[in-house]
Structure 1
Amino acid sequence: MQRRRLAISELLSHHRRWWIPAAVACVALLGLAALRLVLDEVHLRDVRAALGAVPADRIALAAALTAASYTLLTLHDWIALRVIGRPQPWQVGATASFLGNAISYNLGLSLLTGNSARYRIYGQAGLSLAEAVKVGAIGTLAFWNGIAATAGVALLIQEAPLHLAHWTLETGAAHAFGLALLAIAVVPVILRAGGIRRIGADGFALPLPDARHLFALVAVSVVDLLIASSVLFVLVPGLEADVFPAFFVAYVLAIVVAIFAHVPGGLGVFEAVVLAALPADKPAVFAGLLLYRLVYYLLPLFVAASVLVLREASALRRPIGAGLSLIDKVGRALAPGAITLLVFAAGFILLVSGALPGVRTRLSDLDALLPLPFIEGSHLAGSLVGTLLLLVAPALNARLRSGFVMARVLLVAGIVFSLLKGLDYEEAGMQFVILAILQYARPAFYRRGGIATEPLDGRWLAAAAAALGLSVWAGFFAYKRVPYSDELWWRFALNGNAPRFLRATFAAGVLMAAIAFWHLLMGRSARPAAGTADLPAEVAKTALAYASRTDANLAFTGDKRFVISTARDAFLMYRVRGRTWIVMGDPVGPEAAWGELVWSIRRACDAAHGRLCFYQISADMLPLTIDMGLEAMKYGEEAHVDLADFTLEGPQAKDFRAALRRATREGMTFAVVPPAEVPAIMPDLRAVSDAWLVDRPGGEKRFSLGPFDPDYLARFPVAVVRHGERMLAFANIWTNGAPDGDGGEMSVDLMRYIPDAPGGTMDMMFVRLFEWGRAQGYATFNLGIAPLAGLPEDRLAPIWAKIGRTLFERGERLYRFTGLRAFKAKFQPRWEPRYIATPGGLPRLRALVALVGAVND
């Protein structure tokens, strides 16, 4: 039983990426099914009549209240920034708040969507990811406190039984629930009064607002809830002021259920709860809900996306690296995503429009201009264009120029077909606005490659399928009184809306399924990598003459690509793993050429929609990585032994003296075999290597370590330790600089020994290598990296440093972190820090996962 539970847990964890969206989709389907049951007796004509009964001044009032609500919500962020001790100008908090709320209200999962948008703004203002999350968390705390306070007061002032659909809450019970909710609302005040200032662990401790700030936050939430509910209240025709308390309770209940359902925007769930809870006229309430969804949700999202693109157009028109200001970075990060959202919305509008009946008078006018086949064909084509707009969105998000061209063509086609299928000029006008915004932001889409080069992400496909499903739901609701028959598929008439819906839905479904299957069968197209797979010998010779580090010899492992400087005197090496471009070490060559090389790969990586990662770089590279907008973190420390100062005298060298005496006593010998003679001893080297690999899972590695490859090993001198004729250990020697007394560095790369080698064999090898290197004129010996060593211990250190420190101290079962450092520390080295540089936020985690995979390949 325990094994079965473990297997189920592992299965769920492994497929978490899919079962969470699947669970959300199931909840959404249940919400839509419940909505369909609630609307079973509601006719589309009644909803249209109710929509027509809402006067224009009420819609204008609702829009004004919506603006007031979103403006008021900006105070949440403004106050929360002061609570965490990082006050910012109101404009910064207002921008983050509006973007975060507009996105999370529509897409749900505010921790990932709204807080991601907030971090894009706050990150450029100097806040960390944890601080941005704290701002959002304080806003969430204020929201729930506002829910509890307003609902509690609404229940306390209720003087009669509360009727919600078929459920009645007596006055006494309503008052009791109200008191309980008010008690919940004051819990933070009680905690604060009890001396509790923070909630959570040291790694992420959320500060509790003091009474003054908490009162302000809750007051903002209360007023906002009243305003937001008033938006819906004024849009529902026929509601009287005396029913507002019951209406408000129903509204709050719907908000809570929608949030817990985790359905994007609470779509379907929110509407079903409000319709079920309110005893008012169902067509009128549903009409009000449709207008509310448009005014309070979609309109702010459209405004946020449009304003963002237009405001940041100047940043989009600059090449990568032209500016590092807040506006530049925010524009580059958010604007293409905003355009993608607008294009996706355009596709959804076309699909829903194709599912609903056209306006009779407009169809009659169109019939006088065009023959019926043109109208029928335009209706079908409009739905297909809508489907393609949904599916082209990932290419826009990837900033592909081909995606931009395709979206532009589809939007023009959508405008034409919207007019030809029923004179839907409102729909055509909205698409024209989106087309204009897309065209204005044209420079943002600079990456080459066809649409097929960007894989169709399962999440995009799920979103497209959900949009198609919603259009199908709308069609079945509109035509639920039309009895189905096979003849409907072949009926062509001016007012044949149901047959057109069936044909368009079928065609759109087939098109979406065909594209999904095509992507599945074709798999991920190979993305051409920049640079070259070959390093010309003359470039290598020139660049290595400038190299100050021996790991430049990793250029010969055969698994890397290269970016070469214009002067052909420098190069950098990298490998592409997934979407992560991993640069190994510092560029090789004169430091004056480093800037050209790193910006070349930065641009190439960005053009391929990749994420850039620099691995094991020195402190000399940090200014360049900062200029590129990357975040550096210490990876470990590299040990350097000054050969001139190394001595076998003194108590610290007693282990070395013992190792040398034992080696002499047992007849072990040390020698350095020159490159020309290495092929002759290759069988002995292979025997040692094969024995060493027996207990090492994972096989050969190439990225940050040389492999056992005869051609590779024959490039370098090889140090060997023998016992008679039997080889016990070997290591190929990397060198750089002139071995003529002017200095230079040496190190070992591939170091292997047989399992039964006598103790102290490797100590003896290193001592003899130090002596050999000093005799050859080398100044230092590089013992390599001690991973995760030397990370800061302070409680204020960043979270990644704390995780690394914990792994170093307690992760000996995973890797010999402390043992490796202790072995190198015996030689009294000089420690130099080495760094990893990656993008910030979630891309950092993905880059590090790819890096681990590359290093262990």
Structure 2
Amino acid sequence: MQKIIAKVKSYESILKTIFLFAVIIIVVGELISISKTINIAQLKATLGDVPIYKVFLMFIIGLIAVLPMVGYDFTLNKMLNLNHKKSYIFEMSWLINTINNIAGFGGFISIGLRSEFFGKGQKGKDVASALSKILIFLMSGLSIYSLISFFLVTFTDINPYLKQYWIWLIGGGIYFPVVLIITHFKKTGLLGGLKQQYRLELIATSFLEWTGVAGSFLAIGYLMEVPFPLWQVLPLYIAASVIGIVSMIPGALGSFDIMMILGLSNLGINRETVVAWLLLYRIFYYLIPFAIGLALFFKNLWTKVDVRYSGIPKQLTLEIFHKIEVIMLYFSGIMMVLMATIPQAFSEFKWLQHVNPFRFHIIVQFPSIVLGFSLLIMGRGIASRVKRAYFPTIMLIVAAIIYTFLIDFSLAAIIFLSLILLITILSKTELFREQLVYSWEQLTIDGIIIGGLTLLYLIIGIYNLPTFPHHHRKPISFFLFPSEKLWFSGFVAILVIALFILLFVRYLQGKKQQPGQEFDEAKVSHILTTYGGNSDSQLVYLKDKNIYVYNNGSDDTVFLQFATYNNKNVVMGSPNGNKADFEAAIAQFIHDADLLGYLPVFYETDEETVMILHELGYDFIKMGEEALVELDTFTTSGKKMKGTRAVLNKIEKNGFTFEVLQPPYSDQQMKTFKEISDSWLDGRKEKGFSLGFFSEDYLQRGPMAVVKNSDGEIVSFANIIPTYTNEIGTIDLMRHHAQKAPSGSMDFLFVNLFSYMQENGIQYFDLGMAPLSNVGQSRKSFLQERIAYLVYEFGSRFYSFQGLRDYKEKYASQWRSRYTLYSRDSWIAYVMLAILFIDNRTVDKKTPLHGVKRFLKR
């Protein structure tokens, strides 16, 4: 015997596999058998006669009826001292019991499944003992009801037809007392040693299970308003169940149904009504709970796979679900609007009927357009991953399902909408944004769809006017519309939904928050003086930008300066502060901006920042080259600088001198600077953000390089801005008095500044960027770079890119590339337009600027 057991154990894994495959085959076969008993036309007619709230009650009752069965597995886990999570026990128990309901075989399949799901890692003897006890108590509840039914058949005035089942009822009724006696007196073995607590729990579970089983059948009949006497139908149901279990037929399909049809027919209930009753019972007690159990099983299996592969499968699946949900919402909305717009097309073109999940006459004009456009705007909220869109979308889909169900029943439409509802619920975690920021990209897509549908509707209305010329010749059937009155109701619907769209978009926008904060001088100064900056850092003191401050847990170490235009946070230059925290700071900024619906754009960044952002999934294009002068090797000698030397000599001969003034500057000096600035502007508006504008507070923060005439009067100035590093020095504003400054003042200032900074230990002088230098001019350049070049060429026709490059070329020792990086969710043309608008926005002393660019030191 031991050899046989050992041999069997050696094939344990194979036998388990065979068992599971057998269960799958049995369940699939049973589902096919059940599906053959379900007539769609009959189901539609049956559900059409039952009010929607009663159908919902049947659904709830079916779930409640299955619920007590999980008690077996909670008791089993206590018997085996298992430590599974309650959620796991509930989910696997629901699956086991709903499979057992369909598969049948007297509960033996449920025992095998319990061994598979709860017996792993346990001693085979202990598992077998516990499962045997579970098995014998599975039918104790049915046995108790058999005894009750036997007394009803024997001692009450009951239909004579039912009395023939007394033998089955007494047979089933004896089972429980026999099991109770055996388990009470037997102290060892597979059936012995059961604690009194577990015995009571199993009896109570079985009794509640069979109460739910019989109760669900009777409740469905009651909700169908079938007239029947409870004390006569209950014994019939119990007897049919006993016979079905004894027959070991999967799900008792056939024997149970035949007995119930014959028995209920003898009780005076119409045969067609009995068939419909059994049909609903199969659906709400067997099929729906089994479908839920199957979903729970795959959820549990998926969780294990997801944990094994570090959460990547779940992330990818949710992303796919989210995209499918958006597509389905947009598709549904478009189809509904088109059904109201071109109903004739859905009659003439068969392919439209096939791709359309809705029947073309499903909804009348007004509601069709309202629902269609509503689904489109809900699709926008979901596509933008806005939390606020979740419940409105759920409510709208549920409303669409109810409307479809009540007005013109369409199983395909209900299934399609239910699928959208399910995916919406499953992918709820994909909705993480706090608000909607309606981007140009989104407006373009929605404008084409919604605007196109609206325009089509208006064109068709005009085409169907009695005065339209087509009435004198054969009309285009595609554009024919049922009536002017119907068209007008649709037009009113469009006006109504337009208002709804505006209100809903405003609802999704929420509080209109932005990432970061307003300029905080204390935080910015602390970071720059402690950790350093770059040639763009000082521009933050213009106070026309927001800042984002990163804290590493102990100190503020990095800040970004940015402006917002549409949904784009355009970051000026590279991060400022501790380089070790740059990557973490950038990642945190992108995350925080994303939560609020913004897409950061990093403009004029260096190569180190490009590598960080590329790892974070950003695309990049080259935006130009920054000119650097190597101060140690700079000289005005040589053929290349011949013209410059002549200019410098002339200026010096005329008595002009160079000097560097230190702050603070007197009121008179500041007045002189203002006069020079106004003369240089010559009525033009100041532009800010990436270039300094005249601000006394800003100019007081650094040295001022000036050119004085022979009388000591200042005629030109350039403010030297701190870079918080000895590697690079630079200036910002460079302005000359239109009448008093000599020709060549710019060269005079630059050359003297080179000498001044060399004396102060600076390695390079930053002349600023030559925008679009060597960008997008080759046929083999990236498409994005060619688009960027076209946008700027069109938007800045007045700006001489090549002339700027040529001027800086005579001084530059090297050129460093600068880049713009943007999210792949942004369209490059709109990114460039945002930068262009920001750059050309004039300074308004009353309104904060939102812009970025630093093309030219001036």
Q: TM-score, normalised by structure 1?
A: 0.50
Deviation at 1:734, TM superposition (A): 1.2
Q: Does 1:572 align with 2:560?
A: yes
Residue of structure 1 equivalent to 2:355: none
Q: Does 1:749 align with 2:732?
A: yes
Q: Does 1:445 align with 2:428?
A: no
Residue of structure 2 equivalent to 1:772: 756
* Paired residue secondary structure (2:702): coil
Aligned equivalent of 2:821, options 837, 840, 846: 837
- What amino acid is the match of 2:421? L
Residue of structure 2 equivalent to 1:75: none
Residue of structure 1 equivalent to 2:625: 637
Aligned equivalent of 2:682, options 694, 708, 720: 694
Residue of structure 1 equivalent to 2:235: none
Aligned equivalents of 2:640 and 2:706: distance in 1?
25
Residue of structure 2 equivalent to 1:546: 531
* Paired residue secondary structure (1:675): coil
Over residues 831-854 of structure 1, what are the superposed CA-to-partner deviations in whole Å (9 max), with x where a residue is unaligned?
A: 222111124597111101111111
Aligned equivalents of 2:449 and 2:595: distance in 1?
26
- What amino acid is the match of 1:543? L
Please show how residues 92-171 of structure 1 align to structure 2 within 5 Å: none
- What amino acid is the match of 2:385? R
Please show how residues 266-281 of structure 1 align to structure 2 within 5 Å: none
Aligned equivalents of 1:448 and 1:515: distance in 2?
20
CA distance 1:767–1:540, change in 2 (3 Å): same
Q: Does 1:405 align with 2:391?
A: yes
CA distance 1:450–1:630, change in 2 (3 Å): closer
Residue of structure 2 equivalent to 1:856: 840
Aligned equivalents of 1:536 and 1:462: distance in 2?
45
Deviation at 1:535, TM superposition (A): 2.6
Deviation at 1:561, TM superposition (A): 1.4
Residue of structure 2 equivalent to 1:60: none
Aligned equivalents of 1:707 and 1:714: distance in 2?
13
Aligned equivalents of 1:393 and 1:505: distance in 2?
21
Deviation at 1:792, TM superposition (A): 8.0
Aligned equivalents of 1:810 and 1:348: distance in 2?
36
Over residues 97-156 of structure 1, what are the superposed CA-to-partner deviations in whole Å (9 max), with x where a residue is unaligned?
A: xxxxxxxxxxxxxxxxxxxxxxxxxxxxxxxxxxxxxxxxxxxxxxxxxxxxxxxxxxxx
Residue of structure 2 equivalent to 1:683: 671
Please show how residues 805-820 of structure 1 align to structure 2 within 5 Å: 814-820=798-804
Residue of structure 2 equivalent to 1:601: 589
Deviation at 1:618, TM superposition (A): 0.7
Residue of structure 2 equivalent to 1:663: 651
Gaps of 5+ in 2: 1-40, 42-297, 345-361, 467-481, 842-858
CA distance 1:553–1:422, change in 2 (3 Å): same
Over residues 570-590 of structure 1, what are the superposed CA-to-partner deviations in whole Å (9 max), with x where a residue is unaligned?
A: 111111111222111110011
Q: Does 1:343 align with 2:329?
A: yes
Contact 1:550 1:745 in 2 (8 A): yes
Q: Does 1:558 align with 2:546?
A: no
- What amino acid is the match of 2:617? G
Q: Does 1:736 align with 2:723?
A: yes
Deviation at 1:613, TM superposition (A): 1.7
- What amino acid is the match of 2:493? A
Contact 1:679 1:710 in 2 (8 A): no
CA distance 1:644–1:532, change in 2 (3 Å): same
Residue of structure 2 equivalent to 1:417: 403
Aligned equivalents of 2:435 and 2:406: distance in 1?
33
Aligned equivalents of 1:408 and 1:823: distance in 2?
62
Please show how residues 232-631 of structure 1 align to structure 2 within 5 Å: 336-347=322-333, 384-449=370-435, 457=443, 460=446, 463-464=449-450, 505=490, 508-515=493-500, 527-547=512-532, 549-566=534-551, 567-631=555-619
* Paired residue secondary structure (1:677): coil
Q: TM-score, normalised by structure 2?
A: 0.50
Residue of structure 2 equivalent to 1:143: none
Aligned equivalents of 1:810 and 1:422: distance in 2?
55
Deviation at 1:728, TM superposition (A): 1.9
Deviation at 1:627, TM superposition (A): 1.2
Q: Percent of counterpart pairs with the same letter?
A: 24
- What amino acid is the match of 2:799? Y
Deviation at 1:377, TM superposition (A): 13
Deviation at 1:720, TM superposition (A): 1.3
Over residues 380-403 of structure 1, what are the superposed CA-to-partner deviations in whole Å (9 max), with x where a residue is unaligned?
A: 878755553233222222221212
Over residues 727-758 of structure 1, what are the superposed CA-to-partner deviations in whole Å (9 max), with x where a residue is unaligned?
A: 321111012346xxxx3421110111123432
Aligned equivalent of 1:758, options 742, 747, 758: 742
- What amino acid is the match of 1:551? D
Contact 2:632 2:763 in 1 (8 A): yes
CA distance 1:382–1:690, change in 2 (3 Å): same
* Paired residue secondary structure (1:736): coil
Over residues 431-459 of structure 1, what are the superposed CA-to-partner deviations in whole Å (9 max), with x where a residue is unaligned?
A: 11111122222222211126999999476
State the Cα RMSD in Å: 4.9
* Paired residue secondary structure (1:700): coil
Aligned equivalents of 1:653 and 1:352: distance in 2?
71
Residue of structure 1 equivalent to 2:689: 703
Residue of structure 1 equivalent to 2:95: none
Aligned equivalents of 1:624 and 1:464: distance in 2?
39
Contact 2:436 2:505 in 1 (8 A): no
Structure with the greater alpha carbon radius of gyration? 2
CA distance 1:572–1:813, change in 2 (3 Å): closer
Over residues 357-377 of structure 1, what are the superposed CA-to-partner deviations in whole Å (9 max), with x where a residue is unaligned?
A: 9xxxxxxxxxxxxxxxxxx99
CA distance 1:694–1:524, change in 2 (3 Å): farther
Residue of structure 1 equivalent to 2:703: 717
CA distance 1:330–1:829, change in 2 (3 Å): farther
Over residues 447-502 of structure 1, what are the superposed CA-to-partner deviations in whole Å (9 max), with x where a residue is unaligned?
A: 1126999999476367447668999999999xx9xxxxxxxxxxxxxxxx999979
Contact 1:789 1:808 in 2 (8 A): no
Aligned equivalents of 2:518 and 2:699: distance in 1?
20
Task: Single out whichever of 839-848 and 565-574 deviates more from structure 2.
Answer: 839-848
Aligned equivalents of 2:438 and 2:780: distance in 1?
46
CA distance 1:512–1:752, change in 2 (3 Å): same
CA distance 1:329–1:827, change in 2 (3 Å): farther
Tell me the matched-pair count. 500
* Paired residue secondary structure (2:624): strand
CA distance 1:830–1:544, change in 2 (3 Å): farther
Task: Single out whichever of 842-851 and 466-475 deviates more from structure 2.
Answer: 466-475
CA distance 1:547–1:804, change in 2 (3 Å): same
Aligned equivalents of 1:807 and 1:413: distance in 2?
46
Aligned equivalents of 1:324 and 1:758: distance in 2?
67
Task: Single out whichever of 503-512 and 766-775 deviates more from structure 2.
Answer: 503-512
Q: Does 1:646 align with 2:637?
A: no
CA distance 1:335–1:472, change in 2 (3 Å): farther
Aligned equivalents of 2:508 and 2:422: distance in 1?
34
Q: Does 1:847 align with 2:847?
A: no
Deviation at 1:824, TM superposition (A): 2.1
Deviation at 1:674, TM superposition (A): 1.3
Aligned equivalents of 1:330 and 1:701: distance in 2?
47
Contact 1:678 1:714 in 2 (8 A): no
Deviation at 1:413, TM superposition (A): 2.0
Contact 2:723 2:729 in 1 (8 A): yes
* Paired residue secondary structure (1:633): strand
Contact 2:791 2:829 in 1 (8 A): no
Deviation at 1:407, TM superposition (A): 0.8
